[in-house]
Structures are given as structure tokens and as C-alpha cells.
Structure 1
Amino acid sequence: MADSDILSDAEREALNEAIHGPDLMAPRVLIVDDDADSRQILAEILDLHDIYCVTADSGEAALRKLESSVAIDLLITDLRMAHGGGLDLIRSVRASDRAALPVIIVSGNANVRDAIAAMHLKVVDFLLKPIDAVKLVELVKRELHMA
């Protein structure tokens, strides 16, 4: 698929909103990854299972979305990002009024120390890239009480 054929995150979210309507009661997942392809793949996997997703390309953008929307029920974040990592994002979330938000980490490059730090931050799970789509969907549905 050519780059011109791929929707931007904002365009995909607007299209999804137009198709599904502004159902504020629908569970929403915030996907955070500085790699656009990774964000898109995760969002498409979940969209195929009627799981509404919004995306952010950095921890800072994710925090802004969390502050502006109470409709986010689950956070999926990459561990390593160019501007602040997933662990920093999770620490910020845990220190906020959204401290109980369930978090899943995805990473293509993790070590034991990262996994231990993630568990101390009470993440739901730690998935390695390439993502097992079936496991991801099952995990997300369980966390969103859809299964």
C-alpha cells in the first residue's frame, strides 16, 4: 500500500467516529507508539473486532488525550519511543487521576529490567513484537469486559 493510500491517525479516527458515531459508552483503547505503522497495525487489528481505538505518537500526546477524554478504558503503549518511553508514560498515568487505567506494554526490544519495572507499575501484560494478534485481541477484550 502506497503512503498516499494510508490514512493519518487523525483521519482514521475521524472516519471511525463517523462510522461508529459518538458512542461515549463504547470502550476505547489508546494506542501509543512513535512508529506510525505499528500504531496503524494495532489499531486495525482491534478495529476488526469492533474495539474503538484512538492513537498517539508520543507519551506527551497520549497524556493530552487522557486529560481531554474520559472515554479511554485501556492504554497500549510501546516501551521504547523517541520522546520519552512507555515506562515514563505509565509512571505519569499512575501519578494522575487515571492511576487505575489498565495498561498493556508492547515492545520489540525489552530486557528483564524493563519487564520488572513494568510489573512494578502494575501493567496488565507485556507483549513482544511482532504481536500475536489473537492474544492481543483476547487480552484487550478481557480487560474491556467484552469476552
Structure 2
Amino acid sequence: MSDHDILSDAEREALSAIMLEPNLPSAPVLIVDDDKDARELLAEIFTQGGIRCMTAGSGEAALELLQATPSIGLMITDLRMGKIDGLELIRRVRGSVGVALPVIIVSGDADVKDAIAAMHLSVVDFLLKPIDAKQLLAVVRRELGVES
């Protein structure tokens, strides 16, 4: 090591090893849908795609999870649910802890009015069921900053 080197050879090797390590697991995705089969299908798609996820069967349960788990990196919600539908859930999230939380709406029953309301709530994407799993995974990976 010369007087002009900032790092020793050992430090340089350690730094190279760290830089070559794969990305750490991403923040989990929160899947919100009152249809158990739809929730489980999305969870399976993400798990097989190497993305951690959590699920909630209602808007109320999603809000509780978001409060308890601030590390959630993205939320995917159905539009039509019980007391708190998808749009109301997003409004509440935007007004609280998840102002900047990326949100994707997945719905089998939507109209132009819903799409416009979603745009005003700054959703990342609005996908109609049946979903294209590859397209959804690509959008989620992009939003989480995970390489494909």
C-alpha cells in the first residue's frame, strides 16, 4: 500500500465483496382483497416471483397492518370491498402514514369514474381482472426497485 492509497488491499476486497452481494429482500407487498382466492393467487404469484407479501381481507385490516408495519413497500388493492372500498382505503392511506406508498388497483369491476378517481389518488397502475401475472410482477418489481 502506497502513501497515496486510501484503501488497503484487504479493504478493497471487502468492499468488492459487499458490492457484488445480491440485493437484500425487498419491502413486502400488501395485498388487500375481500376475495380469499384472489388474495391467495396474488400471494402465490409474488412468492414464486421472489417477492415477500402480506395479505389483508378488508380495508380495515389493511389499515391496521399499515400502522403496525411501516416497512410495507407497495399496496395492491381490490376496488370493491366491504365498509372500506379500495378508493376509500387509498384516500385514508394518503391522509396518514402512506402518503407516498405506491398503490396498484386490481379490479374485476371498474368504470371510467373509478379510473379517474384512482388517477387523482396517484395510483401506480390500474389493472383489470383477470390479471396478466408477468405484467403485474414487472410493475411491482419496478416500484420496489427489485431487479427482474
Give the TM-score band, short-chain normalised.
Answer: 0.7 to 0.9
Measure the CA separation in 1 of the matches of 2:63 and 2:97.
12
Q: Which runs of 4+ in 1 moved over 3 A?
A: none
TM-score, normalised by the number of residues in structure 1: 0.82
Residue type of the partner of 1:110?
Answer: A
Measure the CA separation in 2 of the matches of 1:55 and 1:94.
19
Partner of 2:112: 112
Structure 1 residue 97, shift from structure 2 partner? 2.5
List gaps (5 residues or longer) in structure 1: 1-23
Determine if contact 1:30/1:76 at 8 Å carries over to the other structure: yes
TM-score, normalised by the number of residues in structure 2: 0.81
Identical-pair percentage: 61
Measured against aligned partners, the alpha-carbon deviations of 1:17-51 in whole angstroms (never above 9, x if no partner) come to: xxxxxxx9632000000000000000100100110
Determine if contact 2:29/2:72 at 8 Å carries over to the other structure: yes
Determine if contact 1:25/1:71 at 8 Å carries over to the other structure: no
Structure 1 residue 84, shift from structure 2 partner? 1.7
RMSD over equivalenced CA pairs, Å = 1.2
Structure 1 residue 82, shift from structure 2 partner? 2.2
SS of the residue 1:104 aligns to: strand
Partner of 1:71: 71
Partner of 1:132: 132
Measure the CA separation in 1 of the matches of 2:91 and 2:46.
25
List gaps (5 residues or longer) in structure 2: 1-23
Measure the CA separation in 2 of the matches of 1:65 and 1:144.
18
Residue type of the partner of 1:55?
Answer: T
Partner of 2:10: none
Residue type of the partner of 2:34?
Answer: D
Determine if contact 1:105/1:123 at 8 Å carries over to the other structure: yes
Residue type of the partner of 1:61?
Answer: A
SS of the residue 1:31 aligns to: strand
Partner of 2:40: 40
The number of residues matched between the two structures is 124
Measured against aligned partners, the alpha-carbon deviations of 1:76-104 in whole angstroms (never above 9, x if no partner) come to: 00000123210000000000022100000
Determine if contact 2:67/2:97 at 8 Å carries over to the other structure: no
Whichever of the two has the greater Rg, that structure is: 2
SS of the residue 1:65 aligns to: helix
Measure the CA separation in 2 of the matches of 1:140 and 1:26.
11
Measured against aligned partners, the alpha-carbon deviations of 1:82-132 in whole angstroms (never above 9, x if no partner) come to: 232100000000000221000000000000000000000000000000010
